[in-house]
Amino acid sequence: MKQNIYGMTTKDLEEYFISINDKKFRAVQVYEFLYKKRYNNVDEFSNIGNNIKERLKEDFSFDKIHLVTKQEDEGVKKYLFKLQDNEYIESVLMYHDYGISLCISSQIGCNMGCSFCQSGRLKKVRNLESYEMVEQILLVEEDIKTRITHVVIMGIGEPFDNYDNLIKFIKIVNNPKGINLGTRHITVSTCGLVDKIKKFANEEGQVNLAISLHAPTDELRKKIMKIAKVYSIKELMDAIKYYINKTNRRVTFEYILLENVNDSDNCAYELARLLKGMNAYVNLIPYNETDNITYKRTKDVQIKRFYDILKKEGITVTKRKEFGSKVDAACGQLRSNYNK
């Protein structure tokens, strides 16, 4: 099976051109046509000889994933993509005051099994290839006719369970000759794979890290997140402290508020004690209810109370803006409903 051109770093392409006895600067030329000019047809690549064009067509696939449908609401667009093996993934575009953010998927399905998560209801089918991650950005930018300023790998799947393709994706989209998205505008979200957090701390770049915490104690976290049965909160915090010390980067703790589960005043105080003194902040997320899961969204008065307790305890905290009341907003929801 041919390699997809959109999954190649410039280094990969340099090595390819050297292997066929051509000049390695061709890699930059190819990147310019793919990502700056956005040409899909190799025959339109000027300044490259016909013999090289034919070789590229022979050795690489230029296929893209297929946009099936999208839903729109104020400030948000949700996309459903069909892959070449007839599987489906989602991306969510959000308009913020600081820019345009795209949340992309990294796997088909997910094995992490968080009980509140719609995408985890389908077990992992496979990892996404790096080109399938890159093409989510390209197709959404083609749809909105403008540049995406921020990318979050927080859609379907656990990014660190697809580590090698994730790192390759970051290198491709960060390349100044390509999509040229700054690493500080890229965020990777993980449910807490401790070994991969430590590994990620040693990667180049300044990519943001977000931790899906959702509970301040092992007892509670184990009830809603299977990963908590593998790694304790202490092990997770030790890895995060290692990451902070190594990178000097602030970490985001994502905390979905579930009514009468993890939204009590006591949970807020426990969370504050856990995070006090860390270079981190909490992002409170009101829950997106689905027909398939019984959890309920915490009421606004308690969200505010939880927020205020954290503030009073000296924790930097934000409340995520809510999007998509008229779309299938939860991760995996559009995909699930389409398959029905």
Domain boundary among 13, 34, 61: 61
Do 212 and 330 lie in a common domain?
yes
Q: How much is the pTM? A: 0.93
Q: What is the pLDDT of residue 118?
A: 82
Query: How far apart, in Å, are the Cα atoms of 224 and each of 26, 214, 219, 320?
Result: 50, 8, 10, 21
Do 100 and 209 lie in a common domain?
yes
- How many residues make up the chain in this entry? 340
Do 55 and 74 lie in a common domain?
no
Do 211 and 300 lie in a common domain?
yes
Q: What is the pLDDT of residue 340?
A: 47
Q: What is the pLDDT of residue 328?
A: 56
CATH code at position 326: 3.20.20.70
Q: Using an 8 Å Cβ cutoff, are 45 and 39 in contact? A: yes
Is the C-alpha dihedral spanning 25, 31, 37, 40 positive or negative? positive
Do 124 and 38 lie in a common domain?
no
Q: Using an 8 Å Cβ cutoff, are 249 and 210 in contact? A: no
Active site residues: 90, 331
Interatomic CA distance for residues 43 and 321, integer angstroms: 45
Q: Using an 8 Å Cβ cutoff, are 228 and 115 in contact? A: no
Do 280 and 334 lie in a common domain?
yes
For 268, the enclosing helix (H) or strand (E) is: helix 265-275
| Residue type, position 273, single letter | R
Instruction: Look at the chain and report how many structural domains it folds into.
Output: 2
Do 209 and 132 lie in a common domain?
yes
Do 43 and 155 lie in a common domain?
no
Burial class of residue 269, CB neighbours in 10 A (0-12, 13-18, 19+): middle
Residues of the chain scoring pLDDT < 50: 332, 335, 338, 340
Tokens found for residue 183: 């690493």
Q: What is the pLDDT of residue 322?
A: 78
Do 94 and 50 lie in a common domain?
no
Q: Could you tell me the residue range of the domain that residue 29 belongs to? A: 3-61
Do 30 and 161 lie in a common domain?
no
